[in-house]
Amino acid sequence: MKRLAFLGPYGTFSEDAAKKYNEQNHYELVPMPTIYDVITSVDNGEIEEGIVPIENSIEGAVNATLDVLVRSKNIKITEEFDVNIVNNLIVKPGTALAEITDLYSFYQPIGQCMNYIRMNLPKTRIHGTNSTAEAAAFVSDYNEKNNIVAAIGTRNAAAIYNLEILAENINDYPDTVTRFVIIGHREQAQSGNDKTSIAFVTHADRPGGLYEILGVFSKRSINLTKIESRPSKESLGQYIFFLDMEGHKSDVIVGEALSEVQKIVVSLKILGSYPIKK
């Protein structure tokens, strides 16, 4: 049986997404401690495929995913789908809201609930964790009497770690959605309704470099659906640009555009061509 790596431990939103994906597939689900471990385990062939969050409707790009994905050697994005996110405030049974001194979670859910935190937990210290389930496990095991801890996480995490949902659906915006992608080594054939994701670095000494690249797609009427930038981590002021476009890399006009971009950038990485989510 093929294996699908996800951000663990059990009880994360990534596990929820993996289970949703597995409704029509047959994978053994394998939890990993970090997003880095999910991607590298697939990249080095230890696990066949993985699922990672890549973008949230409130907090934007999941930087932990982009930073590792762009430095992978053999990874391809093969599918995408959306998952509705419901964040809950979870505590040990009997904990009152006013008692909470410290709040733990992955940075994305914290950002998705900042209005709730400011209004209801204004003096609470906030701590980041590798995942929402790691935060829940920490709360479950915490025995210090000086502090009262809570986590933001899933209903499933509350059940797994014998915690109580003190406040349900504390999202600042009700329709919070996270886009997940399946990663692996297989190339997806053209479906007729595809998206291609790329990453590239422009020449720092080439004025209008990004404008020139965008023009390559514009003159061919290729619709761009997203563009993001991340520091290259190599020198101050150098950025890696992430771009999604409609079309498959094997489409003639997309292939022509990518060939032209290749000639005017420092580096270009095709992250994958895959069907647009339904």
pLDDT of residue 145: 83
Query: Which pLDDT value is given to residue 238?
Result: 81
Query: Where do the structural domains in the chain lie, given as residue ranges?
Result: 3-84+176-184, 88-167, 196-273
Q: Decide if 3-84+176-184 and 196-273 have a common fold.
A: no
Please determine, for residue 121, whether its predicted confidence score (pLDDT) is greater than 90.
Answer: yes
> According to the CATH classification, is domain 196-273 in 3.90.660.10?
no
CB 156 within 8 A of CB 39: no
Residues whose CB falls within 8 Å of the CB of residue 203, separated by 6 or more in sequence, listed in order:
209, 264, 265, 266
The reported pLDDT for the residue numbered 158 is 97
| CA 86/CA 69 separation, integer angstroms | 26
pTM, two decimal places = 0.90
Residues sharing a CB contact under 8 Å with residue 21, sequence separation 6 or more, in sequence order: 4, 27, 51, 79, 81, 180, 182
Read off the pLDDT of residues 85-101 as tens digits, 9 standing for 90 and up: 999 999 999 999 999 99
**241-254 pLDDT per residue, tens:** 999 999 999 999 99
Whether the pLDDT of residue 278 is over 70: the answer is no
Residue 205 has pLDDT above 70, yes or no: no
Strand stretches in the chain, DSSP E: 3-7, 28-32, 49-56, 60-61, 76-84, 88-91, 102-105, 125-128, 149-153, 164-167, 177-184, 194-201, 224-231, 239-246, 267-275
Instruction: Identify the three-state secondary structure at position 226.
Output: strand
Question: In the predicted model, is pLDDT for residue 21 greater than 70?
Answer: yes
| pLDDT for 234 | 80
pLDDT at 115 (0 to 100): 96
* Type of residue numbered 230: R
- Asked whether the predicted pLDDT for residue 174 surpasses 90, the reply is no
Q: CATH number of the domain at 88-167, please?
A: 3.40.190.10
For the record, the structure tokens of 10 come out as 């059990």
3-class secondary-structure state, position 278: coil
Q: Give the integer Cα–Cα distance in Å for 112 and 69.
A: 23
pLDDT in tens, 215-243: 999 999 999 999 999 988 887 778 899 99
**Fold of the CATH domain 3-84+176-184:** D-Maltodextrin-Binding Protein; domain 2 (3.40.190)
Bridge partners of 178, per DSSP, are 56, 83
Contact residues for 137 (Cβ-Cβ < 8 A; gap 6+): 9, 11, 161
Q: Is the CB of residue 49 less than 8 Å from the CB of residue 6?
A: no
